[in-house]
Amino acid sequence: MSVSILDNIKGRFGFGCMRLPMQGEEVDIEETKRMVDAFMASGLNYFDTAHVYLSGRSELAVKECLTSRYPRESYVLADKLTSELFSKEEDILPLFEKQLKCCGVDYFDVYLMHAVDRHIYPQYENTRAFEILSDLKQQGKIRRMGLSYHDSGEFLDKILTEHPEIDVVQIQFNYVDYEDATVQSRLVYETCEKHGKPIIVMEPVKGGGLVKLPEEAQKIFDDLNARTGHTYSNAAYALRFAGSFPQIAMVLSGMGSKEQMLDNLSAMQPVQPLDEAEKEAIQQVTEVFRGLHLIPCTACHYCTDGCPMQIQIPDLFAVLNAKNVFHDGIANYYYENSLTVGGHGKASDCIECGHCEGICPQHLPVIELLKQVSEVFDKKA
């Protein structure tokens, strides 16, 4: 039996609204409505958004596609307090009210302090965010309060010891990060378990990085499917990995199409835990990844809004990964004709202002990594 966050949550698989289908710069509302309908029809009801997702468009799409079309008690909605959007205590309540309005609701089921790590934690402490969220919970405007978290198990232990009022923790958890020295998925999981906190999983497919696998890793899953007669996709194995742990109450997936959603649902509604042979295959795939030393960017895009050179940082990392893993010749084409045009800077245009590094939840040395991108793709320039 897994733990539970709220009685009215159905299932253990949630709709992450950070990578909704797009038409140009705007959310594809009709496709999103179809996805919401398919999700609800499957018997699930957990939705996760944030004001910063899709530069404000995610919350508005949630209103248009979900909250204006379904009764309030039929779905569970999670939103977040993001540190970049407030600097002092007085800013928090107006921001919260604005978020309720954007989403078209008068309470959030789950409300999380966003992307907490050792650098941002003092901001939440100094602005009395913990007390303010506790008050909102007393008033019924929040039903559960929590953290979305990106740091070590040890630091989380300190936070949960100082703030036992935290109800739930959202963590990055996937098979590649499970023993990763920086992300520490296992240690963070064990810390939540020690404090008895239910866990919400984000990035179970590592921002899509566990969908298209290197040839050697793909062969491991292909051989497994051939032996067992199953047809699980790579994403399905990654989601089922997260769903196999008892302290995990909810696994979120940021789905960008109905097709992707149906694939995810086939593995997660209901959750189908991994058997021993599947666990062994995942271990082997993890070893393949370890040998590749890829840039562990999850494509969350938190860094891009404030980049003065409008460098499409995660996309540049993705092309470098693609080139290194798949020896992908088309990567050069994308770099030159798609990713660095229309006002978007090349990797070599970085002025080293440091904005991106201050905000990256993966703590990536973006400036140094962009130099590597530049080395490979800007050579001819």
Candidates 38, 322, 367, 376; binder of ligand SF4 (CB under 6 A) is 367
Task: Yes or no: say if 170 and 201 are a contact pair by the CB < 8 Å rule.
Answer: yes
Token pair listed for 131? 């007390």
> What type of residue sits at position 27?
V
SS3 state at 351? coil
CA neighbor of 32 nearest in space, from 51, 43, 47:
47
Return the number of the residue (23 or 182) whose C-beta is nearest ligand SF4: 182
CA neighbor of 187 nearest in space, from 150, 154, 160, 146:
154
x/- track of binding to ligand SF4 for residues 268-297 (CB under 6 A): -----------------------------x
Q: Does the protein bind ligand SF4 through residue 318 (CB under 6 A)?
A: no
Q: Does the protein bind ligand SF4 through residue 356 (CB under 6 A)?
A: yes
Min dist. Cβ of residue 361 to ligand SF4 (A):
6
CA neighbor of 113 nearest in space, from 78, 152, 140, 67:
78
Return the number of the residue (47 or 302) whose C-beta is nearest ligand SF4: 302
Q: 77 - beta bridge partners?
A: 47
Binding window for ligand SF4 (CB under 6 A); candidates: 108-116, 154-162, 270-278, 356-364: 356-364
Candidates 76, 110, 129, 360; binder of ligand SF4 (CB under 6 A) is 360
Total interface residues for ligand SF4 by CB under 6 A: 27
Task: Yes or no: say if 208 and 171 are a contact pair by the CB < 8 Å rule.
Answer: no
What are φ and ψ of residue 374, in 5° steps? -60, -40
Min dist. Cβ of residue 221 to ligand SF4 (A):
25
Min dist. Cβ of residue 217 to ligand SF4 (A):
21
x/- track of binding to ligand SF4 for residues 293-312 (CB under 6 A): ----xxxxxxx---xxx-x-
Min dist. Cβ of residue 90 to ligand SF4 (A):
28
What sign has the CA pseudo-torsion 305, 116, 13, 276? Answer: positive
Return the number of the residue (108 or 173) whose C-beta is nearest ligand SF4: 173
- Which H helix or E strand runs over 39? helix 29-41
Q: Does the protein bind ligand SF4 through residue 350 (CB under 6 A)?
A: yes
Token pair listed for 277? 């042979």
Min dist. Cβ of residue 352 to ligand SF4 (A):
5
Candidates 45, 67, 362, 374; binder of ligand SF4 (CB under 6 A) is 362
Return the number of the residue (174 or 244) whose C-beta is nearest ligand SF4: 174
376 CB-side CA count, 13 A: 20
Candidates 354, 365, 368, 381; binder of ligand SF4 (CB under 6 A) is 354
Binding window for ligand SF4 (CB under 6 A); candidates: 25-33, 170-178, 336-344, 349-357: 349-357
Return the number of the residue (80 or 197) whose C-beta is nearest ligand SF4: 80
281 CB-side CA count, 13 A: 24
Return the number of the residue (81 or 356) whose C-beta is nearest ligand SF4: 356
Binding window for ligand SF4 (CB under 6 A); candidates: 60-68, 98-106, 179-187, 346-354: 346-354
DSSP 145: E
Candidates 255, 314, 335, 373; binder of ligand SF4 (CB under 6 A) is 314
Candidates 352, 365, 368, 381; binder of ligand SF4 (CB under 6 A) is 352
Min dist. Cβ of residue 26 to ligand SF4 (A):
21
Return the number of the residue (42 or 253) whose C-beta is nearest ligand SF4: 253
Return the number of the residue (168 or 297) whose C-beta is nearest ligand SF4: 297
Token pair listed for 151? 């740091």
Question: What long-range pairs does 102-105 form, CB within 8 A, spacing at least 24?
Answer: 102/51, 102/56, 102/59, 102/60, 102/63, 103/49, 103/59, 103/62, 103/63, 103/67, 103/77, 103/79, 104/62, 104/63, 104/67, 104/68, 105/67, 105/72, 105/77
Q: Is the bond preceding 122 in cis, omega lying within 30 degrees of 0?
A: no
Contact residues: ligand SF4, CB under 6 A: 297-303, 307-309, 311, 313-314, 350-356, 359-360, 362, 364, 366-367, 370
